[in-house]
Amino acid sequence: MTEKPRTDEQILDAVEKAARSLRRQEVMLAIASFVVGLGYLIVMLRGLSIGLRDLVSSPTRGQWVTVGWYLFLFTMLYHVAHFPVAFLRGYVVERRFRLSKQRFRRWMWAQAKKYLVSAVLVVFAGSLLYYFLRRFDRAWWLLAWVGYVVFALVINRFGGRILLPIFYKRGELADDDLKTRLEALVTRAGFQVESVKRIILDQDTRRANAAVLGLGKSKEILVSDTLLAVLAPGEIEAVVAHELGHLKRRHSELLFAAAMFISFVGFVLAAGVLYMSVESLGLSGVSDVAGFPLIVLVFTGLFFIVNPIVNYISRQMEFAADAYAAAFTGEAPALASALVKLAATNLAEKDHPWLYEVLFSAHPSPAKRVARLELASKASDKA
């Protein structure tokens, strides 16, 4: 007997059911990830960290070689401990819900690059931290914070240009008409267009995204091939206008300032906890690199506490960028339509439970965003 084709309503119900299941599994794995990270730091502080320091120490090695090797191995051991969760989260679940197309070998290669890049960054930033710890007995935390601000500023401004090519290939945008429309949109917003590029994601994932990068007035527009496949030109314009809204409202700068304030508090707390724990942890002094897990633990706890606040601020920024895009393009329905399609493509739940949104989500649910855009569209029609 031939099975009847499903109606649109049945398809939407199936997508929503899958999105709900995906969200639950992602929450469980996010909690598991946090527990593994916390457990790793605790195990390190119960003696493994001193053992690792002794392993890389040698009379023939300078202190900075010892620090570098310790930080590198500390980071790689974390990745080894965290690998089962990363495998379930990034490979098994993504393929189970047909979000990922990656074969295991390709996924492993991507993970290897991610691990190596993160280790290099930790070695660089950590070596700078221990330089200040060794040279300045009491003011190290303040100087380390200043160094961290500079380091974070460089990553914030240049990270996209440096790191994206390591993980993703770029290509030319074949649709000349769309390219012209996007260039005109960015120019009308007061920026200069450096280039319009297509990010090649389709070979790995069905997730879709867009971004506008660049220093100063010069901007590079990046649109994934997966996004080009599911959105109409007007919807793509609306999505890019949303990204321009973040730039016009200086959301990146505001979030950066908030992160730097939080990191300042973190360095103050880390200094106090480190001075109090030198003897109990068996460290030779505050500049002993074996105390590094304690510093990481302090920052982990602090960011865990403030994360709901940061999420709330981020969600309000998303609403503000939506409002800018709707007003700037005059096409609130196009952005609303794009959000609905992207939610289905990325398998995002239509609406989130409030606790999930508070603890885990930096974006409002698609339903809330669409509702606000519909109100904006009605207000515009009345005007």
Show the CA angle centred on residue 175, arms to residues 174 and 179, nearest 5°. Answer: 105
Q: Give the residue from 49, 31, 50, 33 showing the smallest Cα distance to 41.
A: 49
Q: What is the DSSP code (8-state) at residue 249? A: T
Residue 1, pLDDT score: 45
Sign of CA dihedral 273, 275, 276, 282: positive
- Catalytic position from the list 94, 235, 243, 349: 243
For residue 15, the tally of other CB atoms under 10 A from its CB is 17
The residues, any chain, with a CB within 8 Å of residue 241's CB and separated by 6 or more, are 185, 189, 324, 325, 328, 329, 335
Neighbours of 358 (CB within 10 A): 15
Determine how β-strand 218-224 pairs with β-strand 192-200: parallel
The candidate with the shortest Cα–Cα distance to 258, out of 313, 210, 214, 332, is 313
In Å, how far are 10, 19, 95, 190, 266 from 148, measured between CA atoms?
A: 51, 38, 37, 31, 12
pLDDT of amino acid 170: 86
The pLDDT of residue 383? 57
Q: For residue 213, what is the DSSP state?
A: E
Q: Which of 242, 209, 226 is nearest to 370 (CA)?
A: 242
Identify whether 243 is a catalytic site residue. Answer: yes
> Measured in whole angstroms, how far is the alpha carbon of residue 38 from the centre of its chain?
20
Whole-angstrom distance between the N-terminal and C-terminal Cα of the chain? 56
Tokens (6 digits) for 366:
């698609």
pLDDT in tens, the chain (383 residues): 455 555 556 666 788 899 999 999 999 999 999 999 999 999 999 999 999 999 999 877 778 899 999 999 999 999 999 999 999 999 999 999 999 989 999 999 999 999 999 999 999 999 999 999 999 978 999 999 999 999 888 887 777 777 778 788 888 888 899 999 999 999 999 998 888 889 998 989 999 988 888 767 778 888 999 999 999 999 999 999 999 999 999 998 999 999 999 999 999 999 999 999 999 999 999 999 999 999 999 999 999 999 999 999 999 999 999 999 999 999 899 999 999 999 999 999 989 889 999 999 999 999 999 999 998 777 666 65
